[in-house]
Amino acid sequence: MSDLRDKLQQLLERQGVMRGAEWRRKTEELAQRRASGEFEIDRIVPGEVVGDASEGFYLARTDFPLDTAHGNITLGEALLALPEHVALSANDTDLRDFTPETAIFLDTETTGLAGGSGTVAFLVGAGYFDGTSFRLEQAFMRDFDDEEPMLRYLDRLFRGRDTVVTYNGKSFDIPLLRARFIQNRMPFRLDSALQYDLLHAARRFWKRRLGDCGLTNIEREVLAVRRHGDVPSAEIPELWLNYLRTRDARALQAVFYHHKMDILSLAALTARLSQSLTLPQGLGFDHMEDRLSLVRLHFLQKHYREVMEHGQRLLEEEAESAIRCECLYLMGMASKRLKQWPQMEDAWTQLLAERPRDLVARLELAKHFEHRARNLLEAERLCAETVELFETRGIPGSDEPLPGLEGFRARLERIQRKLSRG
């Protein structure tokens, strides 16, 4: 029996398992250290208490020199972001008034993602350019009582800021902060500011290629940022709630780091987007999928001449069929809007050569030959060929007949009547 007890003791020691008495002793020691304030936020994260013991909050402030690198770009390059590039990427002409010097780069960490009056922003970060540096202020609630003084401080910080830059801020951060200000009977100054939501800008340029447009993935793939010592976003609310119970802020170091990286990425991504749009014909984007996204964005904003210019350069360099065909479609529609009929005919003809069963190209060419080019024989050939395509060869990838057969039949009969009269 003694040998068995000794073996068990050796096994416990080797595995680092504490016995009951030792575990109780260490637990009591940890509780005493926490109660003494050894692990409070001011001992863990450099900063200061703003206010007094009865009414205040904790503030961590960091000044980054303008030449501070964040991935493959420096923070100061955001000062060179052109308002026309910001407006284009945001699909918002109001942002032609964007000025980096008066913008505020905003992010929040909250008690949950559901929103509503029960969700609190316990960490609010604001970055802005201040002379020769990019200043980052992280306002932190040590308890729920800190919210009102923190919001009063943020109210002063928001004054004079004409643009707020966020990542998904239109849907989450801004409505949440508005609710907190209103609940504390305070005006929300950012309601009068322009909103530049980089999530939507990122999706416009990189969703086709990357799929995942979460900020950390955009950081990795576009900015070449690698985080070290980060914490998953989903774990952050519980870490703050644990701090409220234990007054042990050690785990919050990773939260402050995560929050800081989010805000630095807002400035860096603003700079990267503007730099990418500076070069002509989409050459600021290294991948053809991103260049195609730029062509599509110009089309959505009715910049049809840019569609033709960027699209032609893309076709000269790209061999992949799906990208070429979508580009040709956009060029065909753009030249139609511009009433550039020869260019339109070239685009649809080339698209049909590369994708023979494209019904849009067939329809647009048939209309063009019938009504503009007055080439009824070519219009008849296209319509007859398309009717045969529906009736005999079918449409690849579809078990059901696609709509359009009766329309092509009616067009074919009308053209044949015109030919018989001619």
pLDDT at 233: 92
CA 103 – CA 195 distance, rounded (Å): 10
pLDDT average, residue stretch 34-44: 80
Coil, strand or helix at 73: strand
- Is the pLDDT at 329 greater than 70? The verdict is yes
Q: What CATH number was assigned to the domain covering residues 41-278?
A: 3.30.420.10
pLDDT at 8: 62
Q: pLDDT digit string (tens) for 133-169? A: 999 999 999 999 999 999 999 999 999 999 999 999 9
Strands 163-166 and 194-197: parallel
Q: Tokens 């202020």, residue?
A: 137
Q: pLDDT averaged over the chain?
A: 90
- Is the pLDDT at 398 greater than 60? The verdict is no
- Is the pLDDT at 212 greater than 50? The verdict is yes
Confidence category of residue 397, pLDDT binned at 50, 70, 90: very low
- Is the pLDDT at 396 greater than 60? The verdict is no
Instruction: Give CA angle at 260 (273, 64), nearest 5°.
Output: 75
- Is the pLDDT at 323 greater than 80? The verdict is yes
Strand order in the sheet with 194-197: 48-51, 56-65, 133-140, 121-130, 103-110, 163-166, 194-197
**Does the domain at residues 281-421 carry the CATH identifier 1.25.40.10?**
yes
pLDDT at 400: 42
Q: What share of the chain is helix, strand, coil (3-state, %, to 5)?
A: 60, 10, 25
Coil, strand or helix at 135: strand
Lowest mean pLDDT among 12-16, 174-178, 232-236, 406-410: 12-16
For 250, other C-beta atoms within 10 Å of its C-beta total 15
- Residue 253 and residue 44 in contact, taking contact as beta carbons nearer than 8 Å: yes
Q: Tokens 């949440």, residue?
A: 176
What tokens were used for 350?
Answer: 């080339």
Domain boundaries, the chain: 41-278, 281-421
Confidence category of residue 255, pLDDT binned at 50, 70, 90: very high
Q: pLDDT digit string (tens) for 223-252? A: 999 999 899 999 999 999 999 999 999 999
- Residue 52 and residue 145 in contact, taking contact as beta carbons nearer than 8 Å: no
